[in-house]
Structure 1
Amino acid sequence: MEAVVRGVGFSPVKGMRHLALDHVYLDRLGAVGDRAFCVVDPAARRVLRTVQHPSLMTITAQPYDDQLALTLPSGERAEGPATASGETITCDYWGRQVALSLTAGPHAELISRRLGHDERLARAPRGGVVFGDPVTIVTTASLEAMGADAARFRATLLVETDEPWVEESWLGREVEVGDATLRIGGPVPRCAVIDHHPETGEKDSRLLKDLVRARPTNKAGEPMFGVYATVDRPGRVAVTR
């Protein structure tokens, strides 16, 4: 099956603004550059979760020329090489211990001012701060059925469909997207992050409750929306215009 891709994106720093991009390159571990960094609470030895720190979404992270720029809505900016400081830390990420490399540079100061407490920027191993399979997909028909904005779901790919929820029938199928081939996995459980505006971080929606009423839920009561995927054949995936 070949899919028409209407959107691609990721965030270079876990939890920060989800970037809408023209294209991504998918390898066996997902979109190259996706969640290459994360923000950690060094005292608690914990990776910050977006659902607990939605103000992370107000920070835009842009990698360029081996450097990283972080920008606040005010225009305040911290940029420079996010080089290893030589310090390592093992942090909890959803019950899993992940070894991270703390970085030097101006980024931590800007993040700490924004969040109101001392944090550090850390480089993560590929897939280290990813929950579930490395690629997530949402579809146009399912979004339309819920009256929802794709940006709230922070998916790797937005795929065009005519029938809502048809993606849930793709389990185990191969889907071609651009030059890549994906293997479709199970549905994606959703949390309260989707109730927060994807740019301001403010809670401005009751979308999670709407999904709970309309969609199947898992044992934790989380509603399903979109599907996971793994990469069978790496390749470039661009938005179809």
Structure 2
Amino acid sequence: MHIDSLYRYPVKGLTPEQLNRARLTPGRCLPWDRAFSLAQGDAAFDPKNPAWVKKTHFMCLARNAKVAGLSSRFDEATGILAITTPEGQRLNADPLTAAGQDALTSFLTDYLGAEARYGADGKAPRFHHFPNHSFCDHKTQVISLIGLGSLAALEAAAEAPRDKRRFRANIYIEDIEPWAEFAWMGRRLRVGETVMQVQETIDRCAATTVNPDTAERDANPVKELQQHFGHIELGVFAEVVQGGEIKPGDEITLLD
């Protein structure tokens, strides 16, 4: 087994960024993965004590398919986040500063339009970043992995292609049998220089219905998984227990 491709998602719900390499730290996700997010105004999220809450409290594909139409890119060297709408409107802002977060809040709230939610007290959506915090879908910081064999099995059953970007994994694995990763619960993997411990399978949600190119809900992988395989899971979450560098082409082996 090998790493086929490697991705991070700096803004929750927005563009995947393919990586040539990444350096991982124990107990942490990929650097800058889900580092930024727009919290809806009615979110049960406390900026003074940032803790995990469900994805639906934020701008996300499960609720806001239209955000797949946005193109975003975070340049960690300059600290600039660039977001472009389908119409070509562009914002360059520093998401690490209050002024930049204000600009991103206005830009994304305007783009959401009627899908921007406000609290009962009139609280508006707000763009956030907190050092060392990730707005990931798991309660702890993890790496998500999908075997391309499992994805191929889903495509064969559905008799249609299912772009891997629908599933927003960090690592896609080649040279692996369908559903082999489901046998890894509690086991450790050596991935490049790192060691990860697999924690659980990943339940899929309405985010996967969104076509990443058109921003339309044009398929239902959750229903297809349930209909053909009797579950709604694709991929696994793993915690980094030994840090190091990973890159496409690195070998993946089971340690126990």
Shorter-chain TM range is 0.7 to 0.9
Q: Which amino acid aligns with 1:32?
A: P
Q: Which amino acid aligns with 1:69?
A: A
Q: 1:32 to 1:226 in 2, by over 3 A?
A: same
Shift of 1:138: 0.4
Partner residue, 2:103: 106
Per-residue CA distance 1:26-59 (angstroms, 9 max, x = gap): 2221100001110122355543332011222222
Root-mean-square deviation (CA, aligned residues, Å) is 2.2
Partner residue, 1:79: 92
Per-residue CA distance 1:84-129 (angstroms, 9 max, x = gap): 43xxxxxxxxxxxxxxxx9535322321222114633211453442
| Distance in 2 (alpha carbons) for counterparts of 1:167 and 1:135 | 14
Shift of 1:211: 0.6
Partner residue, 1:145: 153
Q: 1:216 to 1:233 in 2, by over 3 A?
A: farther
Q: Which amino acid aligns with 2:11?
A: V
Please say if residues 81 and 105 of structure 1, whose CA atoms lie closer than 8 Å, have aligned partners that are also in contact.
Answer: no
Q: 1:103 to 1:145 in 2, by over 3 A?
A: same
Partner residue, 1:52: 63
Q: Secondary structure at the match of 2:4?
A: strand
TM-score normalised by length of structure 2: 0.77
Please say if residues 33 and 134 of structure 2, whose CA atoms lie closer than 8 Å, have aligned partners that are also in contact.
Answer: no
- Deviant stretches of 4+, over 6 Å: none
Which structure is higher in helix share? 2
Paired residues in the alignment total 218
Please say if residues 172 and 184 of structure 1, whose CA atoms lie closer than 8 Å, have aligned partners that are also in contact.
Answer: yes
Mean Cα deviation higher: 13-22 or 224-233: 13-22
Q: How does 1:178-197 map to 2 (within 5 A)?
A: 178-197=192-211
Per-residue CA distance 1:177-225 (angstroms, 9 max, x = gap): 22222111211001111111123321011222111112343xxxxx111
Partner residue, 2:47: none
Q: Which amino acid aligns with 2:60?
A: R
Please say if residues 216 and 224 of structure 1, whose CA atoms lie closer than 8 Å, have aligned partners that are also in contact.
Answer: no
| Distance in 1 (alpha carbons) for counterparts of 2:213 and 2:9 | 13
In structure 2, the gaps of 5 or more residues are 45-56, 117-123, 156-161, 251-256
| Distance in 1 (alpha carbons) for counterparts of 2:187 and 2:109 | 44
Q: Secondary structure at the match of 1:48?
A: coil
Q: 1:81 to 1:214 in 2, by over 3 A?
A: same
| Distance in 1 (alpha carbons) for counterparts of 2:184 and 2:88 | 43
Partner residue, 2:31: 32
Please say if residues 23 and 239 of structure 1, whose CA atoms lie closer than 8 Å, have aligned partners that are also in contact.
Answer: yes
Please say if residues 189 and 196 of structure 2, whose CA atoms lie closer than 8 Å, have aligned partners that are also in contact.
Answer: yes
Which structure is higher in strand share? 1
Partner residue, 1:228: 237
Q: Secondary structure at the match of 1:172?
A: coil
Q: Which amino acid aligns with 1:30?
A: C
Equivalent residue for 2:7, pick from 9, 24, 27 = 9
Equivalent residue for 1:173, pick from 168, 172, 187 = 187
Partner residue, 2:175: 161
Equivalent residue for 1:121, pick from 124, 127, 142 = 127
Q: How does 1:86-101 map to 2 (within 5 A)?
A: none
Q: Secondary structure at the match of 1:31?
A: coil
Partner residue, 1:70: 83
Counting aligned pairs with the same residue, the percent is: 24
| Distance in 1 (alpha carbons) for counterparts of 2:42 and 2:222 | 32
